[in-house]
Amino acid sequence: MVSESRLIEEFMELVQIDSETKQERIIADRLTEKLLALGFTVIEDESSLRTGHGAGNLIATLPPNTNAPIPKIFFTSHMDTVKRGNGIKPVMDNEGWITSEGDTILGADDKAGVAALFEMIRVLQEQNIPHGQIQLVITAGEESGLMGARAMDPGLLDADFGYALDSNGAVGTIAVAAPTQARVVMEIYGKSAHAGVNPEDGISAIQVAGKAISRMKLGRIDHETTANIGKFEGGGATNVVCDYARLEAEARSLVHEKVEVQLAAMKESLENTCADFGATAKFQSVIVYPGFKFTEEDAVVQLAQRAAANLGLPNDIFHTGGGSDANIFNGMGVPTANLAVGYEEIHTTSERIHRNELINAARLVIEIVKETARQ
């Protein structure tokens, strides 16, 4: 049985450890201490050497406590938070809502997931619940673009399937699809000239960029696809026709091929516009992370739905437009669904989570382990 007071106390402890993304050293050390005390073998990988973050990912492995042929399972949460995550002072009101005092985020994204996983392990051990090998992968740099997971050696992941605890929504609901995301850099090279004396001899990169953007289909492309220009740089003195502009953009879709189609369309608009104005262009794109898509027919989803139903929790599935470490681990070939944790208004000073959702998150992962053993 979940110890509600212990779980909430540990969550309150974790959110008070400063761990803004790129500053994960202190939280990584504290989590390592806890994992070792619980009997895990812990590896901190060398991803920080490539990412520049304060710590690497923690890959913690707990051996099975039975000889029964139980599948290997893993769970993942991330240790870092977004900015305004230092000096957090959590409070719980009379209705059970946990928030910060209001000057910072709360950090339930994703320390609620971490706390639920630690409570899961304690309950499994206290009640001697049969389980196979369990891995916990606690990543650094999730909030800076899944940097830790992207830099992790796939060979360190040893599981048949797994679950991320890192989605909004009521506990029990499951994110079964998330998009592929591509990042784009577009550069426009025009021709400088004096803006007051001979502007007709110049080619304004800013003007060309504006025309190119106007020809692109952006925003909501269809029910599975979006695209956005997020940054526009260029220009200097007002008396000089600007000869260089740089755009940063993204495209994402639940269908990988649609990302490729959108990228091709954006590139075509850019190049055609530059040709019309006598400018030149450079278009660069990279897939940041792959998408994934499950249905209720997939075993990783069915197991989580059964576990939620066993506890009387909602077990609806949904598609999300955002990425998570689940994208990366699916890309490594390990089926990974993303479980809702129950936090709300993340990345803001209004972030909150209800104590009941925190408790249900722990109950759910315990039940998932039980359901895995029943297989």
Asked whether the bond before 109 is cis by omega within 30 degrees of 0, the reply is: no
pLDDT tens digits along 206-217: 999 999 999 999
If you average pLDDT over every residue of the chain, what do you get?
Answer: 98
**What pLDDT is stored for residue 158 in this prediction?**
98
Do 224 and 289 meet the contact criterion of CB atoms below 8 Å apart? Answer: no
Enumerate the H helices of the chain as residue ranges. 4-15, 25-37, 48-51, 108-126, 147-151, 205-215, 256-277, 299-310, 325-331, 355-374
pLDDT tops 90 at residue 282? yes
pLDDT tens digits along 114-123: 999 999 999 9
Mean predicted confidence (pLDDT) in 11-17: 98
Length of the chain: 375
Do 80 and 142 meet the contact criterion of CB atoms below 8 Å apart? Answer: yes
Residues 6 or more apart whose CB falls under 8 angstroms from that of 15 comprise 88, 90, 100, 106, 107, 108, 111
Please report the domains of the chain, with CATH numbers, ordered by start residue. Answer: 4-178+291-374 (3.40.630.10), 180-289 (3.30.70.360)
- Please give the positions annotated as active site: 80, 142
Q: pLDDT above 90 covers what percent of the chain?
A: 99
**What pLDDT is stored for residue 155 in this prediction?**
98
Residue type (1 letter), 91: V
pLDDT tops 90 at residue 225? yes
pLDDT tens digits along 54-93: 999 999 999 999 999 999 999 999 999 999 999 999 999 9
Mean predicted confidence (pLDDT) in 24-47: 98
Mean predicted confidence (pLDDT) in 219-244: 97
Do 252 and 182 meet the contact criterion of CB atoms below 8 Å apart? Answer: yes
pLDDT tops 90 at residue 199? yes
Please give the Cα distance from 29 to 268 (Å, whole number): 49
pLDDT tops 90 at residue 271? yes
Q: Which two tokens stand for residue 310?
A: 């066993």
pLDDT tens digits along 283-330: 999 999 999 999 999 999 999 999 999 999 999 999 999 999 999 999
**What pLDDT is stored for residue 257 in this prediction?**
97
Q: Which two tokens stand for residue 362?
A: 């722990």
Q: pLDDT above 70 covers what percent of the chain?
A: 100
**What pLDDT is stored for residue 375 in this prediction?**
80
pLDDT tens digits along 321-369: 999 999 999 999 999 999 999 999 999 999 999 999 999 999 999 999 9
Residues 6 or more apart whose CB falls under 8 angstroms from that of 226 comprise 179, 219, 220, 251, 252, 253, 321
Opening angle at CA 78, ends 77 and 82, nearest 5: 140
Give the closest residue to 163 by CA, choosing from 153, 174, 155. Answer: 174
**What pLDDT is stored for residue 215 in this prediction?**
98
Q: Write b or e for each residue in 83-101: b if 16 or more Cβ atoms lie within 10 A of its Cβ, otherwise e.
A: ebbeebebebeeeeebbbe
List 329's β-bridge partners, or say none: none
Give the closest residue to 133 by CA, choosing from 59, 74, 45, 58. Answer: 74
**What is the number of other CB atoms lying within 10 angstroms of the CB of residue 164?**
30
Provide long-range contacts, Cβ within 8 A and 24+ apart, for 87-94. 87/18, 88/15, 88/16, 88/18, 89/16, 90/11, 90/12, 90/15, 90/16, 92/8, 92/355
